[in-house]
A and B are shown apart, each in its own frame.
Chain A
Amino acid sequence: MSFVEDSQNTAPGGVPVNKRSGAQKDAEVGQKAVKRLQTELMQLMTSPAPGVSAFPSADGNLLTWRATIEGPEGTPYSGLTLKLSFEFPKNYPYAPPTVLFRTPIYHPNFDFSGRICLDILKDKWTAAYNIQTVLLSLQSLLGEPNNKSPLNGEAAKLWDQDPTLFKTKVMERHKDLEDD
């Protein structure tokens, strides 16, 4: 594609017949990310996956989203609602989003500030992943933590040795967040 989106005088489906400059290329990349996120939003709304949801944040910026994961049944997180934030880079989906837990969570692969240790959000990311697959991966991580590379060593130990204490710690850490 050798054409760029111009902000004015452009029909929705058309791109101006000009040569691109560096800045315009950047803008085009951002446009692509926004387009892809729009399609994802449509698909999330028309065929939502059970237990996870996501929506762009209220400020109208499509590059930041809010998401929720329901703790799956049969895990220490069952009955809890976990809130997350997504920050998408301009070259999404060619680079992964930055995902953080906003709800305080006690888990071997998440640290105290909500950072997540998950390979598909780092080097294993590919352009074929999307918000829904990320959320579903995180949801399954809740039931099956990867204890080989923990961010929270104590949690990794307790997960194997003392499930009751683990559950207590989960409930202690958990705090329901107000919607914003």
Chain B
Amino acid sequence: MPPPNTPEEGALATASSEPSSPEPAPVPLTAPNSPSAIGFAEFKYIFITKLDYQAIEYVGEVDDTLLCPVCRTPFISPITTPCGHTFCRECIDRALETQSTCPIDRQRIRKTRDYHLCPLIIKEQLDRLMVKCPNKGCNHQCPREHLEGHYKRRCDFTLVQCTGPDCVKPITRRVARKRLGGCMHDEVDCRHCGDKVCSMELDSHYDNDCMGRVAVCSDCRQVMPNPSMTRHKHEDCPKVDAPCKWHSAGCRVFKRRELVKKHEAEGCSFEVISRMLQQQAEDRKRLDEMARHVARCEERHARREARRAARAQAHATAHGTNNNNDHRSIEATHSAAHSAEPSSDGDGDVGGSTEDYVLAQFERLESELEILRQQSRDMDARQSHIILQHAAHFSDQIAEIGSKVGVVNMHLSWLMSLQRQSRSSTAAAAIAGAAASVASGSSSGARPGSSDGSGWRYSGDDRRYSEGGRPESLHRL
């Protein structure tokens, strides 16, 4: 694309009079001015991208008159129509594809043939507009007419093809210069840790993986391998803000970790709550476990009960005939069942009939169950006791705070009354003074009725408040 104000070839006869140097061949391009490329001046960069004038950002406000009515950005290669309107060459071309009239006043325009050279004064204004280099990372600003040169010849951030022999990946010219003629996508040895790293990714390797490179914590000045820094800042650094260990229980302390450590060591009042919650969770877990155990026992017991009933029936039917044989066989099945039940060991085996044994087992389980029930009841009681205790503790504290507030309240009203009193007594004095000047002979005790009454009331209030435990509470606070 030609520089912004150069009309495209064939559009205008005056195109050759443009001062800008003839267009360098776009691909490939020599980079004669690159400072670090001395000795490699012949090196040919292959550009990946072209400068897109419509996307560039302008510095500051651009005068409305320089905006193309179609694309709403400052004119790019502008032309003027016979009706006197100016558009970007490209914009008017596109507009004339759908309608053959001027977008502003609907006069007929013939594509290309009716285009006139835009007034030079507009071109000069456009050339002087300050723009930002569109390359990511580049902060360069210059008049628009110089942007093309910066982008093509000087900008370090223009994308070029990788300088490796068989590589077409895009890299910035700055990176390309560093390893002129080599590929940036190969592996190199990290000079800190010796790991093999793709040379493009060296920077991120230093930040995230390299254990050979040390860094100093910006907060506490501790030295450590670079990748440990994030963890250090999050978990260890004494100068970084952190929450109290018991924050899940409601502690609001959030300050430098060393201060938080101190706060925790001095005893955070939320520790009790937190521990209680933990304890509760543990107890809950144990209770659940026991409940499961009880359920298992009950199930096992029910099974055994059923088996016993079945066996009793069989026994009753077979009783008359083959008593001994039958008994032995039952014994055998029983001992098989017994060995399959690891928990039902013990005394049931000592002679006696199967029924006796099963009954004994049953009783044992029954009592076990009872014990478990007892335990869970105990635990419940203990639990609520603990909670009650803590609740009592808190309500004590709340009551104390309440009483303190009451005392403060009292102080406040005492002070207010004092102030009111002093104000009214000055008022009384003023009135008394006035009265005295009218009737100079009257006695000092005979005050005007109103001030007399109020004076008495205030002094009464005063006394009442001073009785209300003012001196000692003042000390306490």
**Cβ contacts A to B, 6 pairs, < 8 Å:** A5-B52, A9-B170, A11-B134, A12-B136, A13-B55, A14-B135
Q: Is the CB of A128 within 8 A of B48?
A: no
Q: How many A-B residue pairs have CB under 8 A?
A: 93
Q: Is the CB of B170 within 8 A of A126?
A: no
Q: Is the CB of A15 within 8 A of B50?
A: yes
Interface residues in B95-125 by Cβ distance below 8 A to A read: 95, 97-99, 101-104, 106
- Among A12, A13, A17, A39: residue with most chain B CB under 10 A: A13
Interface residues in A50-99 by Cβ distance below 8 A to B read: 93-95
Interface string of A136-162 (1 = CB under 8 A from B): 000000000000000000000000000
**Closest CB of chain B to A144's CB: distance in Å?**
21
CB-CB under 8 A from B90, the residues of chain A are: 1
CB-CB under 8 A from B70, the residues of chain A are: 36, 93, 127-128
Q: Is the CB of A14 within 8 A of B95?
A: no
Interface string of A1-45 (1 = CB under 8 A from B): 111010001111111110000000000000010011001100100
CB-CB under 8 A from B101, the residues of chain A are: 126
When the two chains form the complex, which single residue of A13, A39, A130 contacts B51, counting CB atoms closer than 8 Å? A13
Q: Is the CB of B71 within 8 A of A13?
A: no
**Closest CB of chain A to B196's CB: distance in Å?**
25
Chain A residue at minimal CB-CB distance from B168: A9
Q: Is the CB of B99 within 8 A of A35?
A: no
Q: Is the CB of B73 within 8 A of A128?
A: no
User: How far, in angstroms, from A115 to B158 measured CA to CA in the complex?
Assistant: 48
CB-CB under 8 A from B159, the residues of chain A are: 9-11, 14
Q: Is the CB of A39 within 8 A of B97?
A: no
When the two chains form the complex, which single residue of A2, A32, A93 contacts B54, counting CB atoms closer than 8 Å? A32
> Does B157 lie at the interface of the complex (its beta carbon under 8 Å from any beta carbon of A)?
yes
CB-CB under 8 A from A5, the residues of chain B are: 52
User: How far, in angstroms, from A111 to B1 measured CA to CA in the complex?
Assistant: 48
Q: Is the CB of A36 within 8 A of B71?
A: yes
**Closest CB of chain A to B139's CB: distance in Å?**
14
User: How far, in angstroms, from A12 to B172 measured CA to CA in the complex?
Assistant: 13
Known: A11-B157, A36-B72. A16 touches B98 (CB 8 A): no
> Does B94 lie at the interface of the complex (its beta carbon under 8 Å from any beta carbon of A)?
yes
Question: 20 additional contacts, CB 8 Å, given A94-B97, A129-B103?
Answer: A2-B1, A3-B52, A10-B159, A13-B51, A13-B135, A14-B49, A14-B135, A14-B159, A17-B47, A17-B50, A32-B54, A35-B55, A36-B71, A39-B72, A93-B71, A94-B98, A126-B103, A127-B95, A127-B103, A128-B69
User: How far, in angstroms, from A36 to B52 measured CA to CA in the complex?
Assistant: 14
> Does B56 lie at the interface of the complex (its beta carbon under 8 Å from any beta carbon of A)?
yes
Dominant secondary structure of chain B at its interface with chain A? loop
CB-CB under 8 A from A3, the residues of chain B are: 1, 50, 52
CB-CB under 8 A from B91, the residues of chain A are: 127
User: How far, in angstroms, from A128 to B104 measured CA to CA in the complex?
Assistant: 6
Dominant secondary structure of chain A at its interface with chain B? loop
Chain A residue at minimal CB-CB distance from B26: A17
Residues of B in contact (CB 8 Å), total: 38
Measured CB to CB, the residues of A under 8 A from B are: 1-3, 5, 9-17, 32, 35-36, 39-40, 43, 93-95, 126-130
CB-CB under 8 A from A43, the residues of chain B are: 72
User: How far, in angstroms, from A12 to B151 measured CA to CA in the complex?
Assistant: 13
Q: Is the CB of A128 within 8 A of B103?
A: yes
CB-CB under 8 A from A12, the residues of chain B are: 55, 134-136
Q: Is the CB of B134 within 8 A of A13?
A: yes
Q: Is the CB of B72 within 8 A of A17?
A: no
Q: Is the CB of A39 within 8 A of B71?
A: yes
CB-CB under 8 A from A11, the residues of chain B are: 49, 134-136, 157-159
User: How far, in angstroms, from A16 to B159 measured CA to CA in the complex?
Assistant: 10
Q: Is the CB of B136 within 8 A of A126?
A: no
User: How far, in angstroms, from A10 to B1 measured CA to CA in the complex?
Assistant: 17
Q: Is the CB of B26 within 8 A of A14?
A: no
User: How far, in angstroms, from A11 to B136 measured CA to CA in the complex?
Assistant: 6
Q: Is the CB of B73 within 8 A of A17?
A: no
Chain B residue at minimal CB-CB distance from A9: B170
Q: Is the CB of A127 within 8 A of B69?
A: yes
CB-CB under 8 A from A128, the residues of chain B are: 69-70, 103-104
